[in-house]
Amino acid sequence: MINILQIETSTSVCSVAISSNGKTIAIKEEDAKNIHASSLTLFIESLMKQVNLEFNQLSAIAISKGPGSYTGLRIGVSTAKGLSFALDKPLISVPTLQMMANGFLISNPDYKGFVCPMIDARRMEVFTAVYDANLNEISATSAQIIDEQSFQTILSQSKVSFIGDGAMKCTSVLAHENSVFEADNFNSAGFMSELAYQKYTAAEFEDVAYFEPFYLKDFVFTVSKKKTL
């Protein structure tokens, strides 16, 4: 059995899952700000006990690599790399937006349109990509400022389901007869299972020493406007 521990921390959702041969067998997650550092390892330990697995029985560690929250990705990737190194297990990375689109398609097996996952990046900016109903990438991952002209070409062709924590702020700007906005959470480690298993069987592993999250944009430090002594 190929048992993979899967970690997703790219947004406010802290999510951990375990899969066996590409099927999710256990999952634990919570959507709350600033819990990744305190909860991630506890979630992992809880799940391992739940499925009665020892850490040496894992085949690989999989991480949702981004884009997304700088802090969340850093915590998730650091944890995944630490486990991979300590256990001498392969490290697998799964693009976060692909994972989200996969989750939507799993939940909607008869869907025929495009899927556009969006992760909130500030104001009207999102990290986004576009996939078809077979999870083929139609538009590569990018950071976009959304306005009335965004996605007009694909909206003229077919229905587009906008998903993720960046989608709902775009409802008025992307108003179109083919626009559909899904409020469900697809930032779940459970939606990595098939994708991680495919990479495992193809031996598509990361170099643990050099792997970094896909931040897409540099982290921007903000300076408080309050006067300091």
Q: Is the peptide bond before 67 cis (omega within 30 degrees of 0)?
A: yes
Higher-confidence position of 228 and 92: 92
Domains for the chain: give ranges and CATH numbers. 3-95+187-201 (3.30.420.40), 97-181 (3.30.420.40)
d(CA 147, CA 46): 43
Q: Which two tokens stand for residue 70?
A: 């700088």
Whether residue 226 has pLDDT greater than 70: no
d(CA 72, CA 178): 33
Return the closest-CA partner of residue 10 out of 192, 144, 206: 192
Average pLDDT over residues 67-72: 95
- Please enumerate in sequence order all residues whose Cβ is within 8 A of that of 192, keeping only pairs 6 or more positions apart, or say none: 6, 8, 17, 19, 62, 64, 94, 99, 102
> For the chain, what percent of residues have pLDDT higher than 70?
95
Q: 218 falls in which pLDDT band (50, 70, 90)?
A: low
pLDDT band at 216 (very low <50, low <70, confident <90, very high): confident
Average pLDDT over residues 157-169: 96
**Has residue 223 got a pLDDT over 70?**
no
pLDDT of residue 48 exceeding 80 = yes
Q: Rounded mean pLDDT of the chain?
A: 94
- pLDDT value at position 224? 44
Q: Is the pLDDT of residue 36 over 90?
A: yes
Residue 145 pLDDT > 50: yes
Nearest alpha-carbon partner for 39 in 12, 60, 67, 68: 12
Whether the Cβ atoms of residue 195 and residue 103 lie closer than 8 Å to each other = no
Amino acid at 108: N
